Amino acid sequence: EDQVTQSPEALRLQEGESSSLNCSYTVSGLRGLFWYRQDPGKGPEFLFTLYSAGEEKEKERLKATLTKKESFLHITAPKPEDSATYLCAVPATSGTYKYIFGTGTRLKVLA
Amino acid sequence: KAGVTQTPRYLIKTRGQQVTLSCSPISGHRSVSWYQQTPGQGLQFLFEYFSETQRNKGNFPGRFSGRQFSNSRSEMNVSTLELGDSALYLCASSLDTGPGGGAFFGQGTRLTVV
């Protein structure tokens, strides 16, 4: 069964304190792994797509990496405005546009 | 390029009523999916449409239904509302090249059932 698990559930960092969020997945025939940022009461905002093991993508203080079983979202020198819930998702293997989402990591960056 | 537009942004309904939510996908996208998001369950897949055809449905009761029009706009309907239906309902549109192109979300409709 397709499954996505994210850890930790919540993370508090001091401003400038780098860390990593984990997304492990079980799916046959990965067709992409997606990272989103979600602010309270808003829809998820697309961040990155990764397609193959070893691939990396960067955007400002964020860098996403992918292995055959998991993905990491590295946050370097975070700022308070990076506080949000970060979600990862994979397309289901059923050949549709259905995506399987993790439950997210709630990140709080303290000034 | 305009993003995914969902209306209304907020709704308050009474138990037993029904509600219709609307979603306009990104121009040119023919795939629209709906998700329910609650604090305890995260994003749960409701259903997806492609070119006016429902292609997949999540594990929700028959009170939840949807449709897609020829212009790709989609509506979802929930009948006989229950308190547990209170949630953020999210619509996503996807590229026609396949699910590997990603899903792009609207701002959601916050439904509160009282």
Give the length of chain A: 111
**B4 close to A (CB below 8 A):** yes
For residues B56 and B50, give the distance between their C-alpha atoms in angstroms, rounded to a whole number: 10
pLDDT higher than 90, residue B100:
no
Q: For B82-102, what is the mean pLDDT?
A: 84
Which parts of A1-111 are beta strand (E)? 3-7, 10-14, 19-26, 33-38, 45-50, 56-59, 62-66, 70-75, 84-91, 99-101, 105-110
Q: For A82-109, what is the mean pLDDT?
A: 89
pLDDT higher than 80, residue B18:
yes
Q: Determine what percent of chain B is predicted with pLDDT higher than 90.
A: 74
Cβ contact, residue pair B100, A31, below 8 Å: yes
Encoding tokens for residue B78?
Answer: 């929930």
Band of pLDDT at residue B95, cut at 50, 70 and 90: confident
Q: Check residues B37 and B94 and name the one with the higher pLDDT.
A: B37
pLDDT higher than 70, residue B44:
yes
Specify the pLDDT at position A99: 87
Q: For B49-69, what is the mean pLDDT?
A: 92
**B42 close to A (CB below 8 A):** yes
Which of B9, B89, B105 to mutate to probe the A interface, most A CBs <10 Å? B105
Band of pLDDT at residue A95, cut at 50, 70 and 90: low
**Residue A48 Cα, gap to closest chain B Cα (Å):** 9
Cβ contact, residue pair B99, A91, below 8 Å: yes
pLDDT digits (tens, 9 = 90+) for A16-49: 999 999 999 998 888 889 999 999 989 999 999 9
For residues B79 and A47, give the distance between their C-alpha atoms in angstroms, rounded to a whole number: 35
For residues A92 and A100, give the distance between their C-alpha atoms in angstroms, rounded to a whole number: 6
